[in-house]
């Protein structure tokens, strides 16, 4: 044997495996990895990628049972200690194994050892030099369009990767070699792991560099648009964040259109200029909002090189995501803009975190590790001793309560930033009254709303119609016998989708053709019940003749990039009426929308979920906030059968504070979050009885756990949609006024739960949002 056991080194490795333990491997002491490094190891019959947590001189596992590490990924610098602590915290808090947290947090490409070599290979980038600027494109033959495209691409960006160049022109390599020989372009070979050079010395050749930067700054000043003068409230917010020392959580409560983005931009500009290494993390709730933000950030930070701003979200191709993640990890990226998953990025010089629209439920991951990106952002800021800014027009009650307690600083933007832009007027359209007066409505669109839409069309202004239900109709039913089309796999009705002429289950994806007649009684008069976005789109086209109607929802934007194209059409003024789901409600800065119509909001008023009204209020405030952003007087029409409801009255007064305070008082009286801490045990079984029986046994186990004496256990109940894909689902809620008691209980409960049988799956969710 080559290695003497006494001098062996062992590593303890986290693997993506449900057992919350580390796995020991042997390794050659000469090439032992460091903690935080990735390794490929044998596991059962496979080879998997793991993360080294510890390097030790001994292992409790018998030496002859230990296998050896296959490969150490030396090209990737180790994940820093503070990142490993973050993963450990998330694992403990959300009751998972460290490996189940740490590995899924890494880009998929990094978790495949066979891709390491290519991932970390040096990147070749071509850069246009001044001589090239002068000579191209005149030097090119008139008809050489591919060559012209290549020249154009070089001129329009700081540098062009060899891969992108080949995509533009099949013989790009030869051409670029020739151009390089003429002194038109330079080739930079960039080690992906190399730290980013300090600003100003990105050009290897000093002579070239002086020329180029003179040219660059001339270009910059020509392009620079003057910064808007901050409003007093914006200036006060920027100062407060800038002056903060150490961990400083802020709630930036700014009405819609108050210019929260400008506050983020100014704060980041100051911070990044003051510290040449500082990194900023900016979270947005939806992928669809990243392009708008990215454009604003790139425009503002145009003097930083292109690679200094990266995005991280699930819509990126795997290679790109790994590339961007790596740029963050090596410190090359200064600004990381992303959705919730970006909160788990490795950022060695993280100096500030922004969570825009912090109230948004999309910050909660709904599968696997069910974490709250907002909560982890706050934990990270505290760990690092840096500021964190939570922005929203309708803060979550959790955050609002923290402000009340004096734990977060409050920054208020009470007015819209654009001069003359006021908050819109909100009118409640009483549907019952409309009916009594015999006013005509078309397919659920009230006469008042139709008239308002026509006025906007005549004035050349845009309107937005919001309803939170996609498809054509939520049900297809037979009047004669009462049959309603249901999903054979779920306890749910199927939704009629007209363009595809299909019935589709929104829970499992099951699809079928629309039957010609009732399968129960043969009646041919089967009819759609209720309305979704497709039906409203159709109705609008008829009710407002001449209007260009565009629908944006999960169906119309299924293809990659199509949401962006549709939103661009709206911004370009090629749409008169935009109809859609919550996708159109959030964050977008529509400049020409002056009317918002809200359909079918009432259903959420009477939900059994105690968070439904908070969510509805936030959604309606957000969608209302799309109207009148750029000075056109805005109007919001909310169609309702409950025009006296307190929620609508608060909405009409734009009274978030009143709504939040009264809702918090109700929560306190009813002992609901944020006044108690909750966790949910969910079970999935072949039958509902099996799932319920599991949960009852689970509840019985709690009597053995001392900490559980401070925990309230509710009855096991079926989920609202009890069956999905033939699997029956039930849940058990546990809660406590003490977070520590709840955490201790969950920790002690898990090993006991693992011994129970009878269900297909179970999981614990901490701080569940959907009850």
DSSP 33: P
Residue 489 interacting entry, from ligand ADP, Zn ion, none, C-beta within 5 to 8 Å by type? Zn ion
Nearest to 111, CA basis, from 70, 51, 67, 53: 51
Determine whether the annotation assigns residue 73 to a binding site. Answer: no
Euclidean distance between CA atoms 750 and 742, whole angstroms:
12
Q: Which is nearer to ligand ADP, 571 or 645 (CB)?
A: 571
For the CB of residue 295, give the shortest distance to ligand ADP in the complex, in Å. 12
For the CB of residue 531, give the shortest distance to Zn ion in the complex, in Å. 21
Euclidean distance between CA atoms 749 and 758, whole angstroms:
17
Residue 230 interacting entry, from ligand ADP, Zn ion, none, C-beta within 5 to 8 Å by type? ligand ADP
Residue 309 has which token pair? 């701003």
Residue 254 interacting entry, from Zn ion, ligand ADP, none, C-beta within 5 to 8 Å by type? ligand ADP
Pairing of strands 425-430, 635-640: parallel
Q: Which is nearer to ligand ADP, 193 or 230 (CB)?
A: 230
Q: Which is nearer to Zn ion, 485 or 746 (CB)?
A: 485
Q: Which is nearer to ligand ADP, 78 or 257 (CB)?
A: 257
Q: Which is nearer to ligand ADP, 344 or 352 (CB)?
A: 352
3-state secondary structure of 741: helix
- Report yes or no: 573 and 565 within 8 Å, Cβ to Cβ: no
Residue 417 interacting entry, from ligand ADP, Zn ion, none, C-beta within 5 to 8 Å by type? ligand ADP
The correct pick among 261, 324, 639, 731 for binding ligand ADP (CB under 6 A) is 261
Size of interface with ligand ADP, in residues (CB under 6 A): 17
DSSP 771: -
Q: Which is nearer to ligand ADP, 261 or 463 (CB)?
A: 261
Q: Is residue 256 a contact residue for ligand ADP (CB under 6 A)?
A: yes
Q: Which is nearer to ligand ADP, 257 or 674 (CB)?
A: 257
Residue 667 interacting entry, from Zn ion, ligand ADP, none, C-beta within 5 to 8 Å by type? none
Determine whether the annotation assigns residue 478 to a binding site. Answer: yes
Long-range CB pairs of 198-207, under 8 A, 24+ apart, other chains included: 198/276, 199/276, 199/303, 199/304, 202/305, 203/127
Residues near Zn ion, by CB under 5 A: 478, 480-481, 483, 487, 489-490, 505, 507-508, 510, 518, 520-521, 523
Beta strands across the sheet bearing 160-161: 160-161, 123-128, 185-190
Q: Is 602 exposed, middle or buried (0-12, 13-18, 19+ CB in 10 A)?
A: middle
Determine whether the annotation assigns residue 481 to a binding site. Answer: yes
Q: Is residue 254 a contact residue for ligand ADP (CB under 6 A)?
A: yes
3-state secondary structure of 489: coil
Is the bond leading into 137 cis (omega within 30 degrees of zero)? yes
For the CB of residue 255, give the shortest distance to ligand ADP in the complex, in Å. 7
Pairing of strands 46-56, 38-43: antiparallel
Segment near ligand ADP (CB under 6 A); pick from 100-108, 258-266, 521-529, 664-672: 258-266
Q: What is the secondary structure of 198-222 as a DSSP string?
A: PTT---SSHHHHHHHHHHHHHHHHH
Q: Is residue 402 a contact residue for ligand ADP (CB under 6 A)?
A: no
The correct pick among 373, 390, 418, 616 for binding ligand ADP (CB under 6 A) is 418
Q: How many of the other CB atoms lie within 10 Å of CB of 486?
A: 15
Residue 487 has which token pair? 């999903």
Q: Which is nearer to Zn ion, 374 or 504 (CB)?
A: 504
Which residue, chain included where needed, has tokens 């369009």? 145
For the CB of residue 477, give the shortest distance to Zn ion in the complex, in Å. 9
Determine whether the annotation assigns residue 521 to a binding site. Answer: yes
Residue 262 interacting entry, from ligand ADP, Zn ion, none, C-beta within 5 to 8 Å by type? ligand ADP
Q: What is the secondary structure of 303-358 as a DSSP string?
A: TS-GGGEEEE-TTS-HHHHHHHHHHHHTT--SEEEESGGGGGS--TTEEEEEEETT
Q: Is residue 414 a contact residue for ligand ADP (CB under 6 A)?
A: no
Nearest to 449, CA basis, from 633, 635, 259, 297: 635
Residue 474 interacting entry, from Zn ion, ligand ADP, none, C-beta within 5 to 8 Å by type? none
The correct pick among 159, 258, 582, 624 for binding ligand ADP (CB under 6 A) is 258
Residue 759 interacting entry, from Zn ion, ligand ADP, none, C-beta within 5 to 8 Å by type? none
Q: Is residue 624 a contact residue for ligand ADP (CB under 6 A)?
A: no
- Report yes or no: 429 and 596 within 8 Å, Cβ to Cβ: no
3-state secondary structure of 381: helix
Q: How far is CA 414 from CA 151, 253, 493, in A?
A: 48, 8, 44
Q: Is residue 480 a contact residue for ligand ADP (CB under 6 A)?
A: no
Angle, nearest 10°, between helix axes 612-624 and 656-669? 170
Segment near ligand ADP (CB under 6 A); pick from 189-197, 257-265, 382-390, 654-662: 257-265
Binding string, residues 631-670; x marks residues near ligand ADP by CB under 6 A: ----------------------------------------
Q: Is residue 619 a contact residue for ligand ADP (CB under 6 A)?
A: no
- Report yes or no: 466 and 596 within 8 Å, Cβ to Cβ: yes
Binding string, residues 215-234; x marks residues near ligand ADP by CB under 6 A: -------------xxxx--x
Determine whether the annotation assigns residue 76 to a binding site. Answer: no
Sequence ranges of the binding site for Zn(2+) = 478, 481, 487, 490, 505, 508, 518, 521
Question: Site residues (CB under 6 A) for ligand ADP?
Answer: 228-231, 234, 254, 256-262, 417-418, 589, 629
């Amino acid at each position: 044997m080559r290695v003497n056991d006494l001098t062996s080194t062992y590593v303890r490795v986290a693997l993506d495996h449900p057992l919350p333990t580390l796995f020991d491997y042997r390794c050659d002491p000469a090439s032992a990895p460091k903690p935080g490094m990735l390794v490929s190891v044998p596991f059962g019959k496979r080879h998997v990628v793991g993360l080294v947590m510890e390097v030790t001189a001994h292992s409790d596992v018998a030496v002859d049972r230990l296998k050896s590490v296959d490969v150490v990924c030396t090209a990737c610098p180790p994940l820093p200690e503070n990142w490993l602590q973050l993963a450990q915290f998330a694992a403990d808090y959300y009751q998972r194994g460290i490996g189940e947290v740490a590995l899924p947090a890494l880009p998929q490409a990094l978790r495949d050892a066979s891709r390491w070599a290519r991932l970390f290979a040096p990147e070749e980038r071509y850069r246009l030099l001044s001589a090239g600027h002068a000579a191209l494109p005149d030097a090119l033959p008139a008809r050489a369009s591919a060559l012209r495209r290549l020249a154009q691409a070089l001129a329009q960006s700081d540098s062009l990767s060899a891969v992108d160049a080949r995509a533009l022109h099949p013989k790009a390599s030869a051409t670029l070699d020739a151009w390089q020989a003429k002194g038109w372009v330079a080739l930079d070979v960039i080690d992906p792991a190399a730290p980013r050079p300090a600003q100003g010395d990105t050009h290897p050749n000093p002579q070239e560099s002086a020329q180029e930067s003179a040219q660059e700054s001339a270009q910059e000043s020509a392009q620079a648009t003057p910064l808007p003068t901050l409003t007093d409230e914006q200036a006060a917010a920027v100062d407060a964040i800038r002056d903060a020392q150490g961990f400083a959580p802020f709630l930036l409560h700014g009405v819609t259109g108050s210019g929260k983005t400008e506050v983020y931009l100014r704060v980041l500009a100051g911070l990044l200029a003051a510290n040449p290494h500082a990194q900023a993390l900016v979270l947005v709730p939806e992928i669809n909002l990243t392009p708008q933000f990215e454009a604003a950030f790139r425009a503002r930070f145009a003097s930083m090189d292109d690679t200094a701003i990266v995005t991280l979200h699930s819509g990126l191709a795997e290679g790109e995501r790994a590339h961007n993640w790596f740029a963050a990890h090596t410190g090359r990226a200064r600004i990381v803009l992303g959705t919730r998953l970006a909160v788990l990025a490795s950022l060695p010089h993280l100096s500030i975190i922004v969570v825009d629209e912090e109230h948004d439920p999309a910050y909660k991951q709904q599968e696997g590790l069910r974490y709250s990106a907002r909560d982890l952002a706050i934990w990270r800021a505290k760990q690092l001793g840096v500021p964190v800014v939570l922005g929203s027009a309708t803060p979550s009650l959790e955050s609002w309560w923290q402000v009340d307690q004096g734990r977060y600083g409050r920054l208020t933007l009470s007015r819209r930033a654009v001069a003359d832009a006021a908050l819109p007027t909100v009118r409640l359209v009483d549907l019952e009254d409309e009916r009594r007066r015999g006013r005509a409505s078309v397919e659920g669109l009230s006469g008042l709303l139709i008239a308002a839409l026509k006025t906007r069309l005549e004035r050349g202004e845009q309107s937005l119609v919001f309803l939170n239900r996609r498809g054509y109709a939520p049900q297809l039913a037979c009047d004669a016998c009462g049959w309603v089309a249901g999903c054979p796999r779920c306890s749910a009705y199927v939704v009629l989708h007209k363009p595809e002429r299909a019935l589709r289950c929104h829970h499992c994806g099951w699809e079928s053709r629309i039957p010609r007649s009732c399968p129960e009684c043969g009646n041919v008069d089967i009819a759609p019940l209720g309305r979704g976005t497709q039906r409203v789109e159709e109705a609008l086209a008829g009710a407002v003749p001449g209007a260009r109607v565009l629908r944006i929802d999960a169906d119309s934007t299924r293809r990659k990039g199509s949401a962006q194209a549709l939103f661009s059409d709206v911004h370009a003024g090629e749409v008169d009426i935009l109809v859609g789901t919550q996708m159109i409600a959030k964050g977008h800065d529509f400049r020409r929308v002056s009317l918002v119509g809200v359909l079918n909001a009432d259903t959420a008023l009477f939900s059994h979920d105690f968070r439904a009204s908070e969510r509805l209020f936030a959604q309606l405030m957000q969608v209302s906030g799309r109207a009148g952003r750029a000075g056109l007087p805005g109007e919001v029409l909310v169609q309702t059968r409950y025009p006296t409801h307190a929620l609508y009255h608060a909405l009409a007064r734009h009274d978030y504070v009143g709504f939040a305070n009264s809702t918090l008082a109700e929560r306190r009286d009813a002992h609901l979050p944020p006044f108690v801490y909750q966790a949910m045990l969910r079970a999935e079984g072949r039958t509902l009885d099996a799932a319920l029986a599991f949960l009852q046994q689970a509840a019985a186990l709690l009597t053995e756990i001392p900490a559980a004496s401070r925990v309230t256990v509710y009855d096991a109940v079926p989920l609202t949609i009890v069956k999905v894909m033939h699997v029956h689902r039930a849940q058990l809620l546990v809660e406590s006024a003490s977070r520590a008691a709840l955490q201790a209980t969950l920790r002690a409960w898990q090993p006991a739960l693992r011994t129970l049988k009878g269900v297909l799956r179970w999981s614990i969710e901490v701080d569940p949002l959907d009850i």
